[in-house]
Chains A and B, each alone.
With several copies, the nearest count.
Chain A
Amino acid sequence: MKKSSLEVNIAGINLKNPVMTASGTFGSGREYGEFVDLNKLGAVVVKGVSPTPWKGNPTPRVAETHGGMLNSVGLQNPGVDAFIKNDIPFLRQYDTKIIVNVVGKTIEEYCQVAERLATEDIDMLELNISCPNVKEGGVAFGTDRNKVEEVTKAVKKYAKQPLIVKLSPNVTDIAEMAKAAVEGGADALSLINTLTGMAIDIHRKRPVLANVIGGLSGPAIKPIALRMVYQVAQAVDVPIIGMGGIMTGEDAIEFMLAGATGIAVGTGNFINPMATVEIIEYMEKYLTDHNIEDINEIINGLII
């Protein structure tokens, strides 16, 4: 049997394999580049980029929880100009796709970033309407069906690259949000962003995070993420990038069977910097063991 193919296509873009990095957990690839050969990755999804520099929230910004972690970084980033200047040339040295996570406080700000990136050498945009750690924008857009559609539609006008919309899991009906994004013109969906959570230092009687509430990520949330990917795959026809607690190749295959075309590793990188490449290796093994020639055969392959 010849080597199985891991290539997938998301909204017209060919990825050498389905494995990406989750926004905000991998910087712009520079730091993890010391541990992981970036050429091996399907795509690098960079941290959220806003029109102007954002400082983010005060520290502590992280709390460990059972099988997961809370973060309240709050989209600290140097702004789209610095990103274009420093990070695109760096990433373009590698044979991988570049997906830029776009953030803003208003619809106009989201559009500004998309417009500014329109002529840049990047492969896709990921619209982040699901960050729970900022007061304006972020999750405020991601939990209201109409706003999801509105912001997607607005950004779509400026976007020259395929547009992924990243959904928030902090909603009653994820399928409805997915439909709203698709109606707004999303070419693909990614999910899930973090679930809002909290941790308390009982001896100081204070929240562990300076921001009180943060976003929960890591293996603890995997069953929720998987359920949402499955529900969204039943509801819409655009490709899905699944994430939430993926640590191993087994986890990644679960997401693909549930309906994801691509998968992303976030918190998993912190726990095992080699997670992404180990997942790619496992995918090859899984396909060989199961006598499957093309990874596309397992997407949405769940038998009910």
Chain B
Amino acid sequence: MRNVIIEKNHKIAPDIYEMILLSKELSHEGFPGKFVNLYLNDGAHLLPRPISICEVDRENHRTRLIYAVVGKGTKILSSKKEGEKLKVMGPLGNGFKIDEKIDRNLVIGGGIGTPPLLELVKQLKGDTKVYLGFRENPILVEDFEKLGAEVHIATEDGSQGHKGNVIELLEKHDVNADSIYSCGPKPMLRAVAKWSREKNIPAQLSLEERMACGIGACLVCTCKINTEDEKWEYKRVCKDGPVFLRDEVIWE
């Protein structure tokens, strides 16, 4: 548990907020795909909220989070003032594994699943293509571009980039790669799994599940994972994940 200071907490798009936390340890341990548990300090909403690490600035001890206000907890979070303290646990979980020998990386993000991919792209070696899908307002596009990545956008309403979903765009561009990294809503991940399997490209997928402890002790956040010995077992998204290999994941 760390008591960290909120340096910034402000709206960057409709219902989307950026929060910058100040903590040396947090920024130094924040690897791509890991998440933090934020404690709301509210008597009605007791459970911590898991939010992915979007980016770290180790020099200035900054950890950047991007979150959507979707319910009461994230609403409370959005009302926290700059300078306030926040109880944080983490970084938690197993992030993306980066194979430095790989040449062509393909990063696929969807909606509020986009943020954790930013720190990833920063650390990837080789050539990186970024495909992002949104319902309407894209976020973080400039941030990805600043890193020198080739960024392609799809929006469902066609307000920016390709009108439709990101898989269509990948197919349209006939993209190829050596390794895929993806985070986004379940239907998108499922489509990425299918597409990447067809293309025979290995993929790492970051999953989401409702959590309580966040550290592997309570077994509420499980997902079905293929095992060698048995047919499948429930693994913990918080501790064994959130990033899993595509071929481990069983879709329901």
Stretch among A22-30, A86-94, A226-234, A283-291 lining the B interface: A22-30
* Cross-chain contact of B217 among A56, A59, A71, A269 (Cβ < 8 A): A269
Q: Does A31 contact B221, Cβ atoms closer than 8 Å?
A: no
Q: Does A270 contact B213, Cβ atoms closer than 8 Å?
A: yes
Size bracket, chain A contacts: 35 or more
Residues of A within 8 A of B209 (CB): 59-60
Counting CB contacts under 8 A, is B218 at the interface?
A: yes
Counting CB contacts under 8 A, is B39 at the interface?
A: yes
Counting CB contacts under 8 A, is B94 at the interface?
A: no
In the complex with contacts A31-B239, A56-B234, A68-B46, A273-B218 CB distance below 8 A: no
Counting CB contacts under 8 A, is A66 at the interface?
A: yes
Counting CB contacts under 8 A, is B126 at the interface?
A: no
The winner among A30, A61, A71 for most chain B CB atoms within 10 A is A61
The winner among B45, B213, B214, B223 for most chain A CB atoms within 10 A is B213
* Cross-chain contact of B39 among A32, A55, A267, A271 (Cβ < 8 A): A271
* Cross-chain contact of B212 among A35, A58, A62, A272 (Cβ < 8 A): A62
In the complex with contacts A270-B48, A271-B47, A274-B1, A25-B221 CB distance below 8 A: no
Question: Main secondary structure on chain B at its contact with chain A?
Answer: loop
Question: Main secondary structure on chain A at its contact with chain B?
Answer: loop
A282 to chain B, nearest CB (A): 15
A81 to chain B, nearest CB (A): 14
* Cross-chain contact of B213 among A31, A55, A61, A76 (Cβ < 8 A): A31
Q: Does A73 contact B218, Cβ atoms closer than 8 Å?
A: yes
Counting CB contacts under 8 A, is B222 at the interface?
A: yes
In the complex with contacts A27-B217, A31-B217, A31-B239, A62-B44 CB distance below 8 A: no
Please give me the residue from chain B that is nearest to A72 by CB atom: B220
B134 to chain A, nearest CB (A): 21
Q: Does B234 contact A69, Cβ atoms closer than 8 Å?
A: no
Q: Does A34 contact B215, Cβ atoms closer than 8 Å?
A: yes
A129 CA / B213 CA spacing, docked (Å):
24
Counting CB contacts under 8 A, is B210 at the interface?
A: yes
A8 CA / B45 CA spacing, docked (Å):
33
B245 to chain A, nearest CB (A): 19
Counting CB contacts under 8 A, is B153 at the interface?
A: no
Q: Does B39 contact A31, Cβ atoms closer than 8 Å?
A: no
A296 CA / B73 CA spacing, docked (Å):
31
Q: Does A71 contact B212, Cβ atoms closer than 8 Å?
A: yes
Residues of A within 8 A of B222 (CB): 56, 59, 61, 76
In the complex with contacts A56-B234, A66-B43, A73-B210 CB distance below 8 A: no
Residues of B within 8 A of A56 (CB): 219, 222, 234
In the complex with contacts A62-B210, A270-B212, A25-B43 CB distance below 8 A: no
Counting CB contacts under 8 A, is B56 at the interface?
A: no
Residues of A within 8 A of B73 (CB): 64
Counting CB contacts under 8 A, is B32 at the interface?
A: no
